[in-house]
Amino acid sequence: MKHILVVDDEPRTREGVSKTLRMWASGEYEITTAQSGKEALLWLDQHDACLLLTDIRMPEMNGLELAEQITKLPHPPVIIILSGYSDFEYARSALKFGVVDYLLKPIEKNKLIQAVEHALEKEARNEQIDKMQKLIDFRLLQASQHNNLYNPHVKKALAYIEEHFHKQISLQQVADHLPINASYFSVLFKEQTGMTFSDYLTRHRIQHAKGLLTSTSLTVTEIAEQVGYQTAKYFIKVFRMLEQTSPSQYRQQWLQDGQKIQ
């Protein structure tokens, strides 16, 4: 279950906001409270929150200092600042720390709910962007965007790789297919795509493997075979080298992020 963290040193405000959010959430979100910025950071060290609402004036660590610290977290929540009228301009400066909204005290319940729903929509968009970044190899994407500028030999080579990546292919084999001198082809390919033939082929195979990991229930061994690796052991080694995680861990993380295998 996703968490929303409410941080305020004033018990009345803290409990009022959390009570309103619990009624609104109807069990869909876990509402947690903290009475100081330091307590909030300790909690965030052990848990993830999708949204944080924090008072701007608190002892020891104010809301802006808390927001700045939160930007350093691996998965920072989106933030709503709670402030009094005298803090209005002060609260606006928090926008540089990724704060998506600020509410003036005393807080109207309907405005609180509207701000929370808006913030969660932004959090969902951020999460989707993060997922796409994990799925897409941007070096391959960049290479494909420049395809129309490539030498005809390189264009044909890329098409050949797309058609045969699931088989055992080599630079010499592709050069013979063009046909072109293998040494010249190697230099030309790297010059135009920014990658060696081997690097491109590996990235292309792993890109397809990530698609299969996130959209099918095929085993790692089956996926290894489908993307051109003779053994699952070597496939796992290459996958870990590029993604800093194993294929199984990659799939598990994708599922934990809310995706479903068809």
Specify the number of domains making up the chain.
2
| CATH number of domain containing 212 | 1.10.10.60
Residue ending a domain, choose from 93, 128, 163? 128
Token output for 124: 């969902």
pLDDT per residue over 2-14, tens digit each? Answer: 999 999 999 999 9
Same domain, 229 and 111: no
Q: How far apart are CA 127 and CA 130, in angstroms?
A: 5
Same domain, 150 and 104: no
pLDDT of residue 261: 35
CB 82 within 8 A of CB 13: yes
Residue ending a domain, choose from 94, 128, 162? 128
Residue 36 vs residues 66, 171, 192, 241: alpha-carbon distances, Å: 9, 61, 55, 41
pLDDT of residue 86: 66
Q: Where are the beta strands (DSSP E) in the chain?
A: 2-7, 29-34, 51-55, 78-83, 99-104
Residue-wise pLDDT tens for the chain (262 aa)? Answer: 899 999 999 999 999 999 999 999 999 999 999 999 999 999 999 999 999 999 988 988 988 899 999 989 988 999 999 987 666 666 666 666 778 888 988 899 999 999 999 999 999 888 888 777 778 888 998 888 888 899 999 999 999 999 999 999 999 999 999 999 999 999 999 999 999 999 999 999 999 999 999 999 999 999 999 999 999 999 999 999 999 999 999 998 888 765 443 3
CB 5 within 8 A of CB 53: yes
Same domain, 51 and 6: yes
SS3 label, residue 219: coil
- Residue 262 domain-assigned (yes or no): no
Residue ending a domain, choose from 128, 149, 184? 128
Same domain, 113 and 146: no
pLDDT of residue 25: 96
SS3 label, residue 91: helix
**Domain ranges, residue 11:** 2-128
pLDDT per residue over 74-87, tens digit each? Answer: 889 999 999 876 66
Whether the upstream peptide bond of residue 106 has omega within 30° of 0, thus cis, is: yes
